[in-house]
Amino acid sequence: MKAALTSPHDRPILDLAVPALAGLAADPLVSLVDTAFVGQLGPIPLAALGINASIFSMTFVIFNFLAYGTTPRVGRAIGTGDREEASRVVMRAILLAILSGAVALLLLQVFAEPILRLMGADDGLLGPALTYLRIRACAGPAVLLITASHGAFRGYQDTRTPMKVTIGFNIINATLDPILIFGFDWGLAGAATATVAAQWIGALTFLVLLLHRRREELGIRPLVPKLRSLGAFLTIGRDLFIRTSALVGTMTLATAIATRIGTTAVAAHQVAAQLWLFLALLVDALAVSGQALVSKHLGAGDEDAARSVSNRLLQWGLGVGILLGVAFYGLQPVLPDFFTDDAATIAAVLTIFPFVAVLQPLNGLVFVWDGLYMGVEAFSYLAKAMLLSAGAAAAVLLLTIPMNWGLAGVWWGITTLMGVRLLTLAVPYARGTLLSAAADSD
């Protein structure tokens, strides 16, 4: 991959990646805004919100296949000029989002109290947490419709529309929060209601765009698909569930090990992990470009273009990773102070700061490769590769306490996770088997 200052692929990459970045960054703002307002109500409402944030994050992460599975299938159909197939993919994603959202809503309502008990909510916390959960769960179908719509528009090579819609309903949430929480004196219930209203407005906006205002432009025929046609999506969902569960499980194990090391260690780990995840978000926008562009070129039968844009995306990922690592390391003297004023925690953060900085170039390659593999729909391979990576990382993490490696051992475990992921993704790509196999499958 010979580096170049400019490439014909740079413009389409940036046209997709920059709006995608805004869209990816806007979603977490819903929780951040809620946290800022609810935090003014006191520690109990804030704790109730925190428990629910974890529940909803884990509940809906298994449905990310609605975006990851939709983008490459729509992109490939557009590449072949088969807009009818693209339409069928979109309609299947919408139907599956509605059905899955309804099931998630029902389960969250029925098992709300046991779920909160399992999360450790005591009697003092259960009441407000239960109120928030029952209201917020009503947004379940809306959240999944938004997810599917993101995947559809990315497949059509359009990340600007999802960005605008996502920013729009974030503004609605930020506007309704103070009105309902303080103006109507609804407290925590007001925060949940604001989020539900904002997300349903976002979901309905997407549906109007896909099924009405831009239907002719996109070639979408609003026909209800047959249930048996959803099988391919469910297979993707299974593979991505395995992949995501292995990744989340490894990060959860890392936190558990840090907790056993001590309170200061887990506090420092939380700061470093959140910074690491935020920086990952910046590179993830390039992965979105990879999904959309590679699937489009392969759909058009142009394997050379798919390989060329893939190589360029990897250059971008490595370059952005290096810049982030250098900038992050340069901010070492001041950045921890934004998160805590405890001297012991700051000292502990500084001991693992080099891990976060050095991992950025590696992250840049891994996340871009992740997007490329999704672009060719290699979901089964991603699941197997992640299981191998998670197993290697878990071995290091479980040795941290008995070997007395301290917090550095936790981050050696995370480094192992990313290192094995890099190897499992790089080898098939370097051999040239990834894109060739995808092209031959058309």
What is the arithmetic mean of pLDDT over 222-229?
Answer: 88
pLDDT of amino acid 262: 86
What is the arithmetic mean of pLDDT over 186-207?
Answer: 96
Cα 180 to chain centroid, rounded: 29
Helix axes 406-431, 433-440, angle to 10 degrees: 50
Here the contacts of 329-335 (C-beta below 8 Å, separation 24 or greater) are 329/353, 329/354, 329/357, 332/357, 335/275
Instruction: Give per-residue pLDDT as tens, 9-46.
Output: 889 998 999 888 877 766 666 776 887 788 888 888 88
Average pLDDT, the chain: 89
Run of H or E including 253:
helix 231-261
**Total Cβ atoms within 10 A of residue 185:** 9
Instruction: Give per-residue pLDDT as tens, 135-174.
Output: 999 999 999 999 999 999 999 999 999 999 999 999 999 9
> What contacts 127, CB < 8 A, 6 or more positions away?
none
| This prediction's pTM | 0.85
Which stretch, 10-24, 102-116, 279-293, 325-339, has highest mean pLDDT?
Answer: 102-116
pLDDT of amino acid 3: 45
| CB of 92 closer than 8 Å to CB of 229 | yes
What is the arithmetic mean of pLDDT over 300-317?
Answer: 92
The Cα–Cα gap between 85 and 41 comes to 50
Find, among 71, 114, 116, the residue nearest to 294 by Cα.
71
The Cα–Cα gap between 388 and 383 comes to 9
The Cα–Cα gap between 3 and 223 comes to 47
Percent of the chain residues topping a pLDDT of 70: 95
pLDDT band at 334 (very low <50, low <70, confident <90, very high): confident
Instruction: Give per-residue pLDDT as tens, 22-31.
Output: 777 666 667 7
What is the per-residue DSSP string for 183-198? IS--THHHHHHHHHHH
Cα 442 to chain centroid, rounded: 28
The pair of three-digit structure tokens given for residue 286, joined into one six-digit string: 């390039």
Instruction: Give per-residue pLDDT as tens, 422-439.
Output: 999 999 999 887 766 554
């009503």: which residue's tokens? 138
